[in-house]
Structure 1
Amino acid sequence: MPVKKEIRAEFIKKLSFLYGSGEADRIFDGINDIINFYQPLIYKLSNNAGRAKFRENDIAFTTYGDQVSSENEKTLKVLNKFLGNYVSGLIKIIHILPFYPYSSDDGFSVIDYKEVKKENGGWEDIVSMGKNFNLMFDAVINHISAKSGWFGKYLAGDEAFRNFFIETGPSIDLSGVIRPRTLPLLTKFDTSKGEKWLWTTFSADQIDLNYESPDTLLAIIDVLLFYVSQGARVLRLDAIAYLWKKPGTKCVHLPETHEVIKLLRLILDESAPYVSIITETNVPHKDNISYFGKNGDEAQMVYNFSLPPLLAHAILMENSTFLSSWASSLEVPACGNTYFNFTASHDGIGVTPATGLLPQEEIDFLCKSTLARGGNISSKKNENGTESPYELNINYLSLLKADNDSSDAAAEKFMLSQAIMLSMPGVPCVYFHSLVGSVNFTEGVKISGAFRTINREKLDFKTLVKELSEKDSLRRKVYTRYRELLSVRAGEKAFSPDASFSFPLLHPSVFTVLRGFEKNENPLIAVHNLSSKSVRVSLKNIFEKYGAFNLFDLLSRRTIVPDEKSEFSVNPLEILWLKCSRP
């Protein structure tokens, strides 16, 4: 690939920072060879697409490749059938959780980066899905399976893999390392060269890769561009905050990690500018948004990890104060960058991202609520050797549902949370089990012994279709309401990631989002009553600042007419998406 002089200089600068000026030219040549190899394949897929730009109809959907199954069918084909029947026209981005062969952690201990798990199907099934949706692939590049070919070659003494993993020893002081697990950090392995202690941040089956070795970096770049050649439009960098290790530091958010992300962004900008990066960093909010980069030169999207715990707290307490305060602190990302909003995922609800945003007693309340509703709490190891809650392992609907709630009440409360998520600035992401109204999979936890299984139930396709068709089922009530919200959102420019946003506190029990007011961008007021009682809200301050508007609720299809004081009533748990037009 012909590289402009200034772009080559940028590559050399980044590589020199990571590996020294003496190695930079050689590594750049290796990167350029990889780009040149994949460029013809990428060009065919690009369709002359320009740089990635997200719009109001960019709504994502997270699912496992084997989320739904049917007898004698590959699971990706069954998933494609589900997507065609239930999300087509509503969802634009499909995030397929790791569909590669794996040995543990439901896919996040990858055996072979370039293979599709045979029970799922083949690359042809992925490519077929990519014809109807933009695909997000997981790049599980912090670690690889202990049963992978790469690790097997390392154990056998293959010189090409000699530096792929991080050798250290129990005598090295690693007490300052911060990690989201309480398992031992180091694991001992027998190799052809004797016993070796290796870095294993997440488990003994997930061996951390050594990015101090340029050969490791080049191998991973090859994997990422292979994913692009197979149709990936978004690359999700899993657990990326822990990528670079340096004894004597916390080994999280290191400058070298940020530089690697900048390097990957530069590679994609030059070879596949239509492809975006999203970073998965389940950490406090300030650290999380640092992955946008100082000049927007890292990830185009970051997970908005503080939203799920703060939103759950607000609904359980029927009080939006902490949620509104945090939301009001959200900064406008650099042009082209945006937040990735969600409530539920294949993992738990992060506690760490609420640190400093909720008082400790409110975090304790969330933990107690989780346990009371059938969930569990996972812990992490702190810098001082103590342990503290890391995530709430519970289905989001189950967390919000009171014991005495009917299916109607449970659906109403849950959909309130989803409407708030959909109204936030950024790209929204719907988890499979949220769309179909699932609850705690407690039986699965008993079988697997893993807390995260509670929100990872795999479903029979025919049974799911039957439950979605039953008039009074919780699944149908949630799915029907979700379809309505998604349809409305996708057609409103006020929900574009680029539209301005603010969060006036109209009432302690109401969460309000103003979208599109600053530049007269088809303005909209999203009003969400978290309370089980009706409340009165006033738009006086909004009208004084922006002028009076006619208000039309896009969901109930009715006009809202405030009284002479600019006030009106909002029913219990009501969602109002008020489109504003001049009288």
Structure 2
Amino acid sequence: MTTPTNPQEYVLRDKLIQQLATIYQGIELEQSYEDIAQSLLDIMELSSTSEIQKPYTNHWSEKDIILITYGDSIIKDEQPPLQTLKTFLDATIADTINSVHILPFFPYSSDDGFAVIDYSSVNESLGTWQDIEDISRDYHLMSDLVINHCSSRSAWFDNFVKGEGQGSDYFFTALPDADLSEVVRPRTSPLLKEVETGNGKKFVWCTFSHDQVDFDFRNPEVLKAFTSIIKQYLDAGVKIFRLDAIAFLWKVPGTTSINLPQTHEAVRLLRTLIESAEEHAIIITETNIPNTQNLTYFGNANEAHGIYNFSLPPLLLNTLLTGSCLYLKRWLMCMPPSQDGTMYFNFLASHDGIGLRPAEGLLDDSEINTLVRTVENFGGKISWRTSDAGEQKAYEMNISLYDAMQGTVEGKDEWNFERFICAHAIMFALEGIPGVYIHSLLGTQNDYQKLANTHHNRSINRHRWDEDELATALADNSLHHAKVLNTLKSLLNIRINQPAFHPNATQFTLHLGLQLFGFWRQSRDRKQSIFCVSNITNQPLQLPLAELNLIITESWIELISNTVISELTEEITLEPYQTVWIANNVALK
């Protein structure tokens, strides 16, 4: 193997060999690292002498917004839902949002898509690969790579049970008497599933459920299989890969089996393959774990391009329900700026609940307990996990975000809409790329009927809109849906025209007390500054502009109201949950 003088001159094959050696160190393999690397290159149709993509390159800007949706979040009689979704995207958000994350659109057996039966097919109930490609031509398409596990009804697992064919050696097994006491997982079900196979009784590792059987990446054939899947998705137009539950990828009995070094190296290898095949393709890791662990998936700008900013939803919800930004402010001040070539993926709601593990160490137990009780009072449900000490602890809160904002810890009030918009105004302005769940964009409320039908807590925030029903709701001025949609779009249309809102633009936290939450953004060329301040209480508050140090020789505009700031030493009144974006060098759409 050649040794380059400059790391950026590594030929691709050499880098893959090094990464494979790190992943499979100590494991006896039937193939050499060189042969495995060549197989990966062949699958991806890459040259072994290709140059490595340069790190620290940003493939994004302030114009990037990602809509998160299921393929069938909106349905219409006698039309494939993916076509209905495309119609909605084109008619409603194309002028504002340029990217879409379609949650797993493959055949599945449970977990609303995350127990994949066949990675190579589009679920017939949603549409076809042509429908996926139609969307990918007009929007940056983000797809899940459900890489930790698949459905127990998949052909691969059928072959495992039979003991022959592709998949027969793809799944991780352990003996019941193995030391599994340290294993960290988000579920309370038994970890091992007993299965009678053609090769005798086996105990299959199931991190999430017994219908979601975990892969064994100690077998390089599993890596090859997923490389083929990645190539197919790239060919279909996927540009953003969401690595689902990636933290659990590598398992070793006697350890926590989460965030292991081999998992991190596997992310680096996947990045190498993906960005070598498509220069502008990126990966985002979905790691619903404590904040300090989550940050490690940036590596040194050589692992994930983006990480889900999982601590933001519970901390921002806590801020708005308590009227104090103490914990949110502490967290933001400690967060490292993302290096060039990396970014935070910010979100407030998704198809899952509001996770509480990412709040561990940031909110104390009493704060979390108060948050849980408040969400329950607003009609939410709580999902639980078993702690290391064997205790039942709240794992996530299941509720639509609009309903989570019905009031404060004191109870419901009349500020639901304003509080909800305030949360998004804060998120849209933060360092990173915003992800907006379709049910937040539409102000969807708790779906108790779906919850009753499925008996799964997460169903409460996975409503399926009939297209005609949605059109009626958006046209009814007595309902909040159109007001939510139009207000969020207005904020986003401002955002995408401000260079200070670039995902990697400078950010500093402001010190304005605990009832005003603020931060400062500065564009990368230092020509534009934006001061973002929100009243996070249900009472009017005064903002002394002198506290912001607005430069007197500049012209300042409050972007949201499009109001000129003429007196830089005056106080302005912020109504309950009002946000201001005070900027110079303004570009309004």
Category of TM-score, reference length = shorter chain? over 0.9
Q: Give 2:504's aligned residue.
A: 498
Q: Does 1:347 align with 2:322?
A: no
Within the candidate set 31, 39, 46, 1:30 is matched to 39
Within the candidate set 561, 572, 575, 2:576 is matched to 572
User: What is the CA-CA distance between 1:428 and the residue it aligns to?
Assistant: 0.2
Q: Residues of 1 paired with 2:295 and 2:110: CA distance?
A: 29
Residue 527 of structure 1 aligns to which amino acid in structure 2?
A: V
User: What is the CA-CA distance between 1:114 and the residue it aligns to?
Assistant: 0.7
User: What is the CA-CA distance between 1:175 and the residue it aligns to?
Assistant: 1.1
RMSD of aligned alpha carbons: 2.0
Q: Does 1:460 align with 2:460?
A: no
Q: Residues of 2 paired with 1:250 and 1:425: CA distance?
A: 32
User: What is the CA-CA distance between 1:538 and the residue it aligns to?
Assistant: 2.9
Superimposed CA distance per residue, residues 333-370 of structure 1 (whole angstroms, 9 cap, x where no aligned partner): 22121000000000000101111111211111111111
Q: Does 1:558 align with 2:563?
A: yes
User: What is the CA-CA distance between 1:535 and the residue it aligns to?
Assistant: 1.4
Within the candidate set 340, 343, 366, 2:371 is matched to 366
Q: Does 1:376 align with 2:381?
A: yes
Alignment partner of 1:183: what SS? coil
User: Residue 581 and residue 94 in structure 1: after superposition, are their counterparts in 2 closer, same or farther (change >3 A)?
Assistant: closer
Q: Residues of 2 paired with 1:222 and 1:297: CA distance?
A: 22
Within the candidate set 418, 429, 434, 1:412 is matched to 418
Alignment partner of 2:45: what SS? helix
Q: Give 2:291's aligned residue.
A: 285
Q: Residues of 1 paired with 2:571 and 2:226: CA distance?
A: 57
User: Residue 411 and residue 563 in structure 1: after superposition, are their counterparts in 2 closer, same or farther (change >3 A)?
Assistant: same
Q: Residues of 1 paired with 2:532 and 2:162: CA distance?
A: 60
User: What is the CA-CA distance between 1:26 and the residue it aligns to?
Assistant: 1.6
Superimposed CA distance per residue, residues 208-236 of structure 1 (whole angstroms, 9 cap, x where no aligned partner): 00000001111111111211111001000
Q: Which range moves more in the overlay, 112-121 or 27-36? A: 27-36
Q: Does 1:156 align with 2:123?
A: no
Superimposed CA distance per residue, residues 239-279 of structure 1 (whole angstroms, 9 cap, x where no aligned partner): 00000000010000000000000001111222212100000
Q: Residues of 2 paired with 1:517 and 1:430: CA distance?
A: 23
- Contact 2:108 / 2:118 at 8 angstroms: preserved in 1? yes
Q: Residues of 1 paired with 2:12 and 2:539: CA distance?
A: 59
- Contact 1:187 / 1:197 at 8 angstroms: preserved in 2? yes
Residues paired across the two proteins, number: 565
User: What is the CA-CA distance between 1:549 and the residue it aligns to?
Assistant: 4.3
- Contact 1:554 / 1:578 at 8 angstroms: preserved in 2? yes
Q: Give 1:394's aligned residue.
A: 399
Within the candidate set 312, 331, 349, 1:307 is matched to 312
Q: Residues of 1 paired with 2:568 and 2:166: CA distance?
A: 75
User: What is the CA-CA distance between 1:238 and the residue it aligns to?
Assistant: 0.3
User: What is the CA-CA distance between 1:517 and the residue it aligns to?
Assistant: 6.5
Q: Which range moves more in the overlay, 568-577 or 546-555? A: 546-555
User: What is the CA-CA distance between 1:384 and the residue it aligns to?
Assistant: 2.9
User: Residue 283 and residue 212 in structure 1: after superposition, are their counterparts in 2 closer, same or farther (change >3 A)?
Assistant: same
Q: Aligned ranges for residues 18-167 of structure 1 at < 5 Å?
A: 18-20=23-25, 23-36=32-45, 53-167=59-173
Alignment partner of 2:79: what SS? coil
Q: Percent identity at matched positions?
A: 35
Q: Residues of 2 paired with 1:261 and 1:547: CA distance?
A: 48
Within the candidate set 515, 519, 542, 1:513 is matched to 519
Q: Aligned ranges for residues 414-433 of structure 1 at < 5 Å?
A: 414-433=420-439
Alignment partner of 1:161: what SS? coil
- Contact 1:52 / 1:273 at 8 angstroms: preserved in 2? no
Alignment partner of 1:130: what SS? helix
Q: Residues of 2 paired with 1:443 and 1:38: CA distance?
A: 53
Q: Aligned ranges for residues 230-309 of structure 1 at < 5 Å?
A: 230-293=236-299, 295-309=300-314
Q: Residues of 2 paired with 1:225 and 1:547: CA distance?
A: 54
Superimposed CA distance per residue, residues 119-149 of structure 1 (whole angstroms, 9 cap, x where no aligned partner): 1000000000111100000000100000111
- Contact 1:54 / 1:336 at 8 angstroms: preserved in 2? no
Q: Give 2:333's aligned residue.
A: 328
Q: Residues of 2 paired with 1:77 and 1:17: CA distance?
A: 44
Q: Which range moves more in the overlay, 165-174 or 459-468? A: 165-174
Residue 129 of structure 1 aligns to which amino acid in structure 2?
A: I
TM-score between the two structures when normalised by the length of structure 2: 0.92
- Contact 2:499 / 2:523 at 8 angstroms: preserved in 1? no
Alignment partner of 1:389: what SS? strand
Q: Residues of 1 paired with 2:235 and 2:422: CA distance?
A: 39
Alignment partner of 1:113: what SS? coil
- Contact 1:146 / 1:152 at 8 angstroms: preserved in 2? yes
Q: Give 1:42's aligned residue.
A: none
Alignment partner of 2:213: what SS? strand
User: Residue 439 and residue 126 in structure 1: after superposition, are their counterparts in 2 closer, same or farther (change >3 A)?
Assistant: same
Alignment partner of 2:557: what SS? strand
- Contact 1:76 / 1:126 at 8 angstroms: preserved in 2? yes
Q: Residues of 2 paired with 1:537 and 1:482: CA distance?
A: 24
- Contact 1:324 / 1:511 at 8 angstroms: preserved in 2? yes
User: What is the CA-CA distance between 1:476 and the residue it aligns to?
Assistant: 1.3
User: What is the CA-CA distance between 1:93 and the residue it aligns to?
Assistant: 0.9
- Contact 2:354 / 2:396 at 8 angstroms: preserved in 1? yes
Alignment partner of 1:526: what SS? strand
Residue 315 of structure 2 aligns to which amino acid in structure 1?
A: L
Q: Residues of 2 paired with 1:547 and 1:176: CA distance?
A: 59
Q: Residues of 2 paired with 1:162 and 1:201: CA distance?
A: 19
- Contact 1:179 / 1:201 at 8 angstroms: preserved in 2? yes
Q: Residues of 1 paired with 2:93 and 2:165: CA distance?
A: 48
Within the candidate set 197, 222, 225, 1:219 is matched to 225
Q: Give 1:208's aligned residue.
A: 214
Q: Residues of 1 paired with 2:11 and 2:241: CA distance?
A: 26
Q: Residues of 2 paired with 1:51 and 1:310: CA distance?
A: 30
Q: Residues of 2 paired with 1:396 and 1:549: CA distance?
A: 38
Q: Give 2:3's aligned residue.
A: none
Structure 2 unpaired stretches of 5+: 1-7, 49-55
Structure 1 unpaired stretches of 5+: 40-49
Alignment partner of 2:560: what SS? coil
Runs (4+) of structure 1 moved beyond 6 Å?
A: none
Q: Residues of 1 paired with 2:102 and 2:456: CA distance?
A: 21
TM-score between the two structures when normalised by the length of structure 1: 0.93
Q: Give 1:46's aligned residue.
A: none
Q: Which range moves more in the overlay, 419-428 or 163-172? A: 163-172
User: What is the CA-CA distance between 1:159 and the residue it aligns to?
Assistant: 4.7
Q: Give 1:540's aligned residue.
A: 546
